[in-house]
Every structure is written in C-alpha cells, then in structure tokens.
Structure 1
Amino acid sequence: MSPPLTAHVAERPGSAGTARPRLIVPYIAMWSGETTEEEPRLVVLPSRTGIGYADEILGDRDSRGVLWDRATLDPGHGTPRFAQIHVHRQRRAMRKLLCQVCAGPADRDDDGTLWLIPDRTQPWPNWPEGMAVAEPPICRPCAHLATRACPALRAEGHFVIRAREHPIHGVDGTHYRPGPHSPVPVTSQPVAFDDPAIRWVLASKLVRTLHDCTIATDL
C-alpha cells in the first residue's frame, strides 16, 4: 500500500452536540492502526560483520545495504501518535524533500530549503553549519501551523533555518553488538553511511546535514 500524499485530518473528541475542531495530523506521524516490531528478531550475520533479520526479505534493506526498522502502513486508521515517527514516511519525506506535515514540496527560495527544528542542541561555532537533522523539511503554511499548534515546539522552543545544501548523511537508529544468543541493543544515535558501524544499526530515520545556512526571519 502506497503512503498518502497529504496530511490527515482527525476530529478531536467532544461532547454530544458540540463542534469538534479539526486536528491536523502530520504526514510523518504514526497512527495506532500501524504497528512496529517492538522486539525485532535480529541475528548476527554469519560473517559477524553486522546484523540482519532472522526472516529477512529483500525490502528490509535500502540500496546501500542498510537494515531498516519494520512498520505497517495504515495511515488515518485509529488515533494519531504524534510523538512517534513512521519510519517509511519519514524516510520518503526526507529523501524527496517533502514537507513533514502535508507531504507537499518543502519551501525553497534563494536562501535554501526551509527546516523547522526543535531546540534540542547546544550551539557551537558557526552553528547551525553541519547540523545533522532527522526532521524532514517543511513548507511555509505548515511551519506557521506547527509553531502555533505543536505543544513540543512551544515547550522546547525551535529554530527556523534555511539551508542551500543538505546532503543525505546517514541514518539514525539503534546500534547493536553481538550477544550470547542474539544481538544486544547498545545505544541510539546518528551514523554516517561511510561508517563501518552502520552494519550494526537498525535504522529508523534518514538523516541529512545542513550547510550554507541562514536563520530564517520571514515567517
């Protein structure tokens, strides 16, 4: 089943006879009708060069050979889970530079593509140059909507950044090491495609790095 090309609209629960305002659900958000493997059946490859699924199929790896987390596709069914990101929709939005909310083209002008980033970083010299992001870009209307409606952005703060260059860098996911019976999870962090450690990662998000950046003031 192909993923939808737009965000979903859900209704907020309300009492009988009262209006129920619409709730915009971002394209990359998970729904309760979609499932992931909480304890994936992973094995150490015979060559001990990485991990794989015990019942691995062709679609479990991307063109670079990276192993990806599994999730069913059933958007719009059940209730939205805003704190959880759907692995396949995040990957598609990031790869095609689609808006993380509506799945339309992300906004782009002479200063670059628009990103709305939660304030979870410690700035460094020349920040935000070289920042690795797992949040897909965004369009201007959805950026306005998100800054008003998203509790996490209001609580944590946010940055609005334009980047002229934003190459795909690697993945974010769970790192494993060999265990006595099966691979053991160690940590979760971004890893570059050219890092040999990526063979031990179960990827859940595609990561880009932002370059030639400006802080946007036009929203």
Structure 2
Amino acid sequence: MTDSSPIRPVQYRDGRPVPHITAWSREQVPPQPLAVIHGHGGRGLGFEDEVSHIDRHYDVPWMRMPATRGGHPRYENVHALRQRQAMSRLLCQMCGGPTLGTRRDERSLFLVASAGGRPIADGELTTSPPTHAVCARLALEHCPPLRRRGWAAALVEHTPVWGVSGLLYHPQSLEPVPTADVSGMHRISFTDDRSLRWTLAARLIIALEGVTAVTDLDVLSDEGTAVARGSR
C-alpha cells in the first residue's frame, strides 16, 4: 500500500475490526452546558461557553464528545464527530479513508443494516457513511448482526445533506422533548428552521439519490486502489 491509497488500515480489537465511526469507552459524552442564546436568527439552543467554529456545524450546535479512542470499542455507539466528518467528506465508515475517486463512475457504495435485506430506496435517508468495497466485505465477515438481521448495499450517484439526528429541546423549559424513536433522537430536516434551532445534533443525515442496488459485494472492486489490512 502507498501513502496515497484512500484505503487505510482498519483498527482491530481482539481479532475484530473496529469501524472508524465507532465510539470507544473513553469517549463518553460529557455534560453539555446548554443555554438559550441569541443569534442572527433570534433565540435558539447553544452552549454557555460556545465557540461557534468548534461547537456549531451546519448552523446547529453539535454534541460535544472527546475524540481519544481509548479503552474498549462500544460497537453499539457512534462517535458524533467522526460520523459527521465521514458523512460530509464521504469517508469510509470502516477505515476512515476517502471514498470519492475510488470508482471511475464516481458513485459511492453504501452498506446499511436492513431488516430482511430490504433494498435501499431512491431518496432514502441514512446516517450510515459510505464504504469501500473491500471494507464492506470486511464488515459483513465480522459483523454477525448484519448477516443475521439483514443488510442492503447500493451504488449511489448523489448524497445531498438532508438534516440532522439529535436531541430536541423545549424552547421554554429547555427540557428534552420525548420521541418514540428507540435512539431517543429526533430527525430534523434543514428546512425545519423552527425545530432546528432547538436541536443538539449528534448525527448528520444525507439522502441517497440515483440508487443502484448491489446484491453481491464480491463482484465489486475498489478501482485503482491498493488494499490495506490493519494489524490485529
């Protein structure tokens, strides 16, 4: 592998690959010093000690979370910063390397959990970043839930940002607004300015447009790239 390869070594723990966007036990979410602030659009949610270029992205306050990767991986948790960077830059969710330019047709490969293997629909929303073909195969090899519960993959032409997933707060009490979603988070479109200004974002959501289903990952290759294997 050369330094210019977009496919990076995947980190392993106890013989199992750890996705780039996975949160580790030393990256626990600290208390969030939230407050009502007055910005150019009026009242909204912010931090008491907010530094706008660090705490605010897409004009939304983003959940603070250390990025230290220590302890043990918490596979069920996603790191807020690494997920946002992977979505906005189209980085591989497994290795963290760029996926743009790895295919001649300039499409991006997406692999998502899907009950019963339901295909990805055109226009579908997702918080799962793209992946390289070799990294997608690695995920299926080592992730029993994907094989057991089902998965879907697709090559996607366009990935416009749609909104965020996060905690929604009441404008008066600043108490969290309940949701029926098992994640405890609300999905807020960037067109919903009223809700957006009271949201603490934890995930970036994109739409998948120009979708071509992929049912066999073995037929795909990462064109013009070298394959990197991480140390175990």
With structure 2 as the length reference, what TM-score do the two structures score?
A: 0.77
Aligned length: 199
Shift of 1:109: 4.8
Deviation at 1:24, TM superposition (A): 1.2
Q: Distance in 2 between matches of 1:90 and 1:96?
A: 10
Deviates more, 1:194-203 or 1:184-193: 184-193
Segments of structure 2 that go 5 or more residues without pairing to the other structure are: 1-7, 180-184, 218-232
Q: Would the alpha carbon gap of residues 177 and 108 (structure 1) be closer, same or farther in structure 2, given more than 3 Å must change?
A: farther
The residue aligned with 1:18 is none
CA distance in 1, matches of 2:147, 2:168: 31
1:191: which partner in 2? 188
State the 1:44 CA deviation.
2.7
* SS of equivalent to 2:32: coil
Counterpart of 2:182 in structure 1 is none
Does residue 204 (structure 1) correspond to residue 202 (structure 2)? The answer is yes
Report whether the alignment pairs 1:82 with 2:85.
no
Distance change >3 Å, CA 139–CA 195, structure 1 → 2? same
Shift of 1:190: 1.9
One-letter amino acid of the counterpart of residue 49, structure 1: R
* Farther-moved stretch of structure 1 (45-54 vs 201-210): 45-54
Q: For residue 70 of structure 1, what is the aligned residue in structure 2?
A: 64
2:208 alignment partner, SS class: strand
Alignment check: 8 A CA contact 2:116 2:149 kept = no
Q: Give the structure 2 partner of residue 171 of structure 1.
A: 164
Aligned-CA RMSD value = 2.4
Q: 2:131 aligns with which of 130, 138, 150?
A: 138
2:26 and 2:68 in contact (8 A); partners too = yes
The answer as to whether partners of 2:118 and 2:152 remain within 8 angstroms in 1 is no
1:51 is aligned to 45
Secondary structure of the structure 2 residue equivalent to 1:115: strand
> Which residue in the other structure is 1:61 paired with?
56
| CA deviation after TM superposition for structure 1 residue 49, in Å | 3.0
Identity %: 34
Cα deviation 1:53-75 (Å, max 9, x = unaligned): 2222231101x321100000112
Residue identity in the other structure for 2:27:
E
Stretches of structure 1 lacking an aligned partner (at least 5 in a row): 13-21
- Conserved 8 A contact 1:43-1:183: no
Quick one: structure 1 residues 53 and 111, their matched pair in 2 at CA, closer, same or farther if it must change by over 3 Å?
closer
Contact 2:17 2:142 in 1 (8 A): no
* Corresponding residue SS for 2:169: strand
Local SS of the residue matching 1:50: strand
Give the TM-score normalised by structure 1: 0.81
- How far off is 1:111 after superposition? 7.7
Using the alignment, how far apart are the partners of 2:148 and 2:87 within structure 1? 25
| Mapping of residues 103-182 of structure 1, within 5 Å | 103-106=96-99, 108-110=103-105, 112-119=107-114, 128-180=121-173, 182=174
